[in-house]
Amino acid sequence: MTCNTFSLCLSFALIFYVAQGAKVTFINHCDYTVWPGTLTGDQNNQLSKTGFELASGASDSVDVPSPWSGRFWGRTGCSNNDGGFSCATGDCGSGQIECNGAGGAPPVTLAEITIASGGGQDFYDISNVDGFNVPMSISPQGGSGECKTSSCPKNINDGCPSDLQMKGSDGSVIACKSACLAFGDDKYCCKGDYGTADTCPPTPDSQFFEEQCPDAYSYAYDDKNSTFTCSDNPDYTITFCP
């Protein structure tokens, strides 16, 4: 690459860094259709896809710029009706398959990624802080460092405590609420007087999530074994029902 002015070189450099973002590939190993949603954080420009259909056994992908921070999730039980498109779990309220900058309604399993600029250190995790609706994993492809898979492979709905259950129209458990969502108390939500790691320890309900999926966030301050890192521009694969 050649350039004649500093400003032109800088423009090329900025384009290069954006091009060094990641490709995120979604794979659906569930025996049912999942409708992934994407949300860019800090109200920055949304990705080219903010929601789409992913049939059982199918895959799809989206390009993510660098730097970037945001989340991905799976919606289930979706259909078109008189009020537009809606989902039984993870619905983003847009009335369309595309979420258009809206997040998924809890309880919902999240894959969260912060992509560094210039090949720096990325951070990523699977989170059940907002509850659980579908098993998920996130795996770096390439990169350097630890670059381990973060996963919640169990169907937590199967053992969800009765006071945390979210049931569908047929009476089956379709999602498992967090204690914060179920009860709204600051001690479960790590807010107010409970807004630090010292004042918001694990609770029996968060420990249930931890026992089911120890590599995933079970509550707000579950950082020790739930945050994963990878450097040097890895791509990522997000799998539903890994």
Q: Which of 19, 112, 27 is nearest to 73 (CA)?
A: 112
What the chain holds in terms of domains, given with CATH numbers, is 6-240 (2.60.110.10)
Q: Across the chain, what does the average pLDDT equal?
A: 91
**Prediction pTM value:** 0.90
Under the banding of pLDDT at 50, 70 and 90, the label for residue 42 is: confident
Report the residue count for the chain.
242
Q: Which two tokens stand for residue 93?
A: 């309220």
Express each pLDDT in 83-129 by its tens digit: 799 999 999 999 999 999 999 999 999 999 999 998 899 999 999 99
* Percent of the chain clearing pLDDT 70 (strictly above): 92
Distance CA(86)–CA(210), nearest Å, equals 30
| DSSP codes joined into one string, 61-81 | EEEE-SSEEEEEEEEEEEEEE
Backbone angles phi and psi of 228, in degrees to 5: -120, 155
Mean pLDDT of 31-56: 95
Q: Using an 8 Å Cβ cutoff, are 124 and 138 in contact?
A: yes
HSE-CB of 90 using CA atoms within 13 angstroms: 30
